[in-house]
Chain A
Amino acid sequence: MLTRRHILGAIAALPTASWAAAGSPAFVAAAQEPSGDYALFGLSAQGDQTFRIPLPARGHAAAAHPTRAEAVAFARRPGRFALVLDCAQGQVLHRLEPPSGHHFYGHGAFLSDGRLVTTENHIDTGQGRIGLWSPDYRRMATLPSGGIGPHEVIRIPGTDRLAIANGGIHTHPDRGREKLNLDTMRPNLSYMENGEITESVELPSELHQASIRHLAARPDGTVAFAMQWQGDEYDPVPLLGLHRSGTPQLLSAPEPEQLALRGYVGSVAFSGNGEHVAITGPRGGVAHIYDVASGTHEVIHRPDICGTAPLGTGLAFTDGKGAVMTPAGPKLHLLRWDNHLVPLG
């Protein structure tokens, strides 16, 4: 059992470069380069590159350390490893592997003290797990995630409360990404405090095929959850929900615009001032930006738009065509930005 003293001692032994040493990026994001290789990039608030670190394979998401210039890059699921990268030196510090019988599910997040949590699948039972890692990246615990197929986990700002998107879809690495339980799936949004699931929220039964997969949170504790519909693409179901307590509030555009998302949301983010929440639909090439207070929305058209994150008071977006879109205007890179744009801080 690690004591607090051990953990603090371990931190002191690690490199302590701050994000300033990595060019003070506002975001990190993975991308495919023209050669076909993959890398993790730092991006400034203007959309310029601040660092580049090669990755051995396609990434899905990254988690950025709250203070140190370190990011954990997760492989696409079913992921067998995650890399801890020193973004100042451009080096791989650690290679994380889940305990045997588990694989990563694509996302992770840092707690305020530098411990890391990762979403995982317990392969034999198909039950979701949260892996807990010490600040020096040693495995500390394996905890139930509160459901099946946890995809994204986030820390609610200002707390060490976690929100977990249990997507509800059972997969087995022997069957690739095949979905094994579409008829019976029951996704949920779960909250974890001190390693315990404190609350799980399900959607009405007619939405049981809406896989809750991506999350964002506001400092007041409101969680936005984005869904991927496993039913008929022409059912205009809601793909975005907000939850703080009680029954979630579902947000949806008028039917024709809702169908333009093609049942699939890739990312969700609150704006910096918390007044808006954006979902991206790479299949439909659209993003919907909702005004949280009024529920009205506007639409952005960009092919393959997927990454989104808060920036200043507003929002930034990335797409698979290489664009980084910020309020300062678009910046084009000769890259294909991968699913997620991860904000720092």
Chain B
Amino acid sequence: MIRALALILWATTASADVETVVNSHILPRADAFAEATATLAATPCEPNQLREAFSKAATAWAGFAHLTMGPVEDAGRGRMVLFWPDSRNATDRGLRLVKSQGNDAWNADTIAKGSIAARGLGALERLIFEDNGEPCALTEALADDLAATAERIRTGWHDDFAPLMLTAGEPDNSRFFTEKEAMGALYTALLTGITYNVDQRLARPLGTFDDPKPLRAELRRSAQSVPMLTASLEALRELATTMTAAPDTEAVLTRVISAAKTLDDPSLSNLSDPSVRFIVEGLQSEIRSTRGLAEEEIGETLDLNEGFNALDGD
């Protein structure tokens, strides 16, 4: 009791901001992702129902995937949930192998021991959107495996990593030596998340003007490429404004989100059309600008900075 009270007092005095972010941003999103994947796992093998449940699970992941520290990073679970980018098309190859292994291999245990490229949202998307969810036993096994991963991420946050962040600076905390380091980890997640949308999610399908690569768009088969982007930006906006007041960052993100939602090309398939390309490049450039805004509004306000060595490049 005294220990619990001490923890609460300590947390409210020294680390209220981290606690707010954990409780209002991280844990609800971990829960939402676990619930969306559980729903997908419980969905019968009916293509339309599967597609709807898949899309919700995918965007729930996009709204959480910037939080790479802790349970997502620890066992490499991020790639397990979504194997993208996949420039060597390892998901297709892995999935062909799993299909060829037949019914005996189509259970969550065997899937979990196989190639990570043939697990998670990427493999499910191919089955659900290209093969109408058949073979059903394989779709169910992949969905069960994904839900199990999401549940491990959820419990990992609730039971281990959230307490670790909230006890930053305590003597037995070997991960966060100070409270500021915990806030710094959130700040890094914010900036890395912004960069990911620019350099991966948009840059990969954009390619170059002469050689656009729309087939490289994330989850294009399910037309989730743009919904993934907006879900991520909404989450990053929430993280930024929960950390501290960041009106400029917030305003630009809000503008980009609404512009992206009006884009009539959810799978980014028309990037060779100069007018579409112009719009998407504009969004990309606006997202890039929020990095600098976040550095000013959040980094400087909270006296946080990105890695001294990480940015050195030597």
Which residues of A approach B to under 8 Å, CB–CB?
32, 60, 76-77, 106, 151, 177, 213, 232, 234-235, 254-257, 259-260, 264, 266, 282-283, 285, 301, 303-306, 319-321, 323, 330, 332, 336-339
Query: What are 27 contact pairs spanning A and B, CB under 8 A?
Result: A32-B308, A76-B314, A106-B314, A232-B85, A234-B85, A235-B87, A254-B76, A255-B116, A256-B80, A256-B116, A260-B73, A266-B309, A282-B309, A285-B69, A285-B188, A285-B310, A301-B69, A301-B73, A304-B310, A305-B309, A320-B307, A320-B309, A320-B310, A332-B177, A332-B178, A338-B309, A339-B312
Q: Mark B291-314, 1 if CB is under 8 A from A, else 0.
A: 000000000000000011110111
Whether B309 lies near A77 (C-beta < 8 A) is no
What's the least CB distance linking B60 to chain A, in Å?
20
The 7 closest A-B pairs by CB, nearest first: A256-B76, A320-B308, A304-B307, A306-B309, A282-B309, A336-B308, A282-B310
What's the least CB distance linking A120 to chain B, in Å?
15
Q: Which one of B75, B79, B307 lies within 8 Å of A303 (CB-CB)?
A: B307
Alpha-carbon gap, A232 to B87, bound state (A):
9
Whether B79 lies near A283 (C-beta < 8 A) is no
Q: Which residues of A contact B313 (CB under 8 A)?
A: 177, 264
Q: Which residues of A contact B193 (CB under 8 A)?
A: none
Given A77-B314, A232-B87, are A259 and B79 neighbors across the interface (CB < 8 Å)?
yes
Known: A234-B87, A256-B79, A320-B310. 17 other contacts (CB 8 A): A60-B314, A151-B314, A213-B314, A232-B87, A234-B86, A255-B116, A256-B75, A256-B78, A259-B79, A282-B312, A285-B188, A304-B307, A305-B309, A320-B307, A320-B309, A338-B312, A339-B314
Interface positions, chain B 100-152, Cβ under 8 Å from A, are: 116
- Of B75, B77, B314, the most chain A CB neighbours within 10 A belong to B314
Interface residue range, chain B: 20 to 34
What's the least CB distance linking A182 to chain B, in Å?
14
Alpha-carbon gap, A69 to B118, bound state (A):
57
Whether A339 lies near B309 (C-beta < 8 A) is yes
What's the least CB distance linking B191 to chain A, in Å?
12
Alpha-carbon gap, A283 to B188, bound state (A):
10
Q: Which residues of B contact A77 (CB under 8 A)?
A: 314
Q: Which residues of B contact A259 (CB under 8 A)?
A: 76, 79
Interface positions, chain B 48-99, Cβ under 8 Å from A, are: 69, 73, 75-80, 85-88
Q: Which residues of A contact B178 (CB under 8 A)?
A: 332
B181 in the interface, Cβ–Cβ < 8 Å? yes
For B88, give the chain A residue with the smallest CB separation. A235
Alpha-carbon gap, A282 to B308, bound state (A):
9
Whether A255 lies near B307 (C-beta < 8 A) is no
Q: Which residues of A contact B69 (CB under 8 A)?
A: 285, 301
What's the least CB distance linking A230 to chain B, in Å?
11
Alpha-carbon gap, A306 to B184, bound state (A):
17
B175 in the interface, Cβ–Cβ < 8 Å? yes
Q: Which residues of A contact B174 (CB under 8 A)?
A: 330
Alpha-carbon gap, A254 to B116, bound state (A):
10
Alpha-carbon gap, A224 to B78, bound state (A):
30
Q: Which residues of A contact B181 (CB under 8 A)?
A: 303, 321
What's the least CB distance linking B215 to chain A, in Å?
16
- Of A235, A282, A304, A337, the most chain B CB neighbours within 10 A belong to A304
Alpha-carbon gap, A321 to B313, bound state (A):
17
- Of B85, B177, B188, the most chain A CB neighbours within 10 A belong to B177
B185 in the interface, Cβ–Cβ < 8 Å? yes
Whether B310 lies near A283 (C-beta < 8 A) is yes
Q: Which residues of B contact A254 (CB under 8 A)?
A: 76
Q: Which residues of B contact A106 (CB under 8 A)?
A: 314
Alpha-carbon gap, A283 to B308, bound state (A):
10
What's the least CB distance linking B275 to chain A, in Å?
29
Q: Which residues of B contact A213 (CB under 8 A)?
A: 314
Q: Which residues of B contact A255 (CB under 8 A)?
A: 76, 79, 116
- Of B69, B184, B307, the most chain A CB neighbours within 10 A belong to B307
Given A76-B314, A256-B116, A304-B310, are A330 and B78 neighbors across the interface (CB < 8 Å)?
no
Alpha-carbon gap, A260 to B77, bound state (A):
11
Q: Which residues of B contact A257 (CB under 8 A)?
A: 76
Interface positions, chain B 147-185, Cβ under 8 Å from A, are: 174-175, 177-178, 181, 184-185
For A262, give the chain B residue with the smallest CB separation. B310
Whether A330 lies near B177 (C-beta < 8 A) is yes
What's the least CB distance linking A306 to chain B, in Å?
4
Q: Which residues of A contact B76 (CB under 8 A)?
A: 254-257, 259-260
Q: Which residues of A contact B185 (CB under 8 A)?
A: 303
Alpha-carbon gap, A112 to B77, bound state (A):
48
- Of B76, B78, B181, B309, the most chain A CB neighbours within 10 A belong to B309
Q: Which residues of B contact A336 (CB under 8 A)?
A: 308
For B79, give the chain A residue with the smallest CB separation. A256
For B80, give the chain A residue with the smallest CB separation. A256
Q: Which residues of B contact A151 (CB under 8 A)?
A: 314
What's the least CB distance linking B114 to chain A, in Å?
12
Interface positions, chain B 215-250, Cβ under 8 Å from A, are: none
For A253, give the chain B residue with the smallest CB separation. B76
Q: Which residues of A contact B78 (CB under 8 A)?
A: 256
Alpha-carbon gap, A285 to B313, bound state (A):
14
Q: Which residues of A contact B188 (CB under 8 A)?
A: 285, 303
Whether B85 lies near A321 (C-beta < 8 A) is no
Alpha-carbon gap, A264 to B314, bound state (A):
9
Alpha-carbon gap, A14 to B214, bound state (A):
66
What's the least CB distance linking A92 to chain B, in Å?
23
Alpha-carbon gap, A235 to B314, bound state (A):
20
Given A256-B76, A303-B188, A306-B309, are A321 and B314 neighbors across the interface (CB < 8 Å)?
no
What's the least CB distance linking A309 to chain B, in Å?
15
For A179, give the chain B residue with the smallest CB separation. B313
Q: Which residues of B contact A32 (CB under 8 A)?
A: 308
What's the least CB distance linking B269 to chain A, in Å?
22
For B188, give the chain A residue with the smallest CB separation. A303
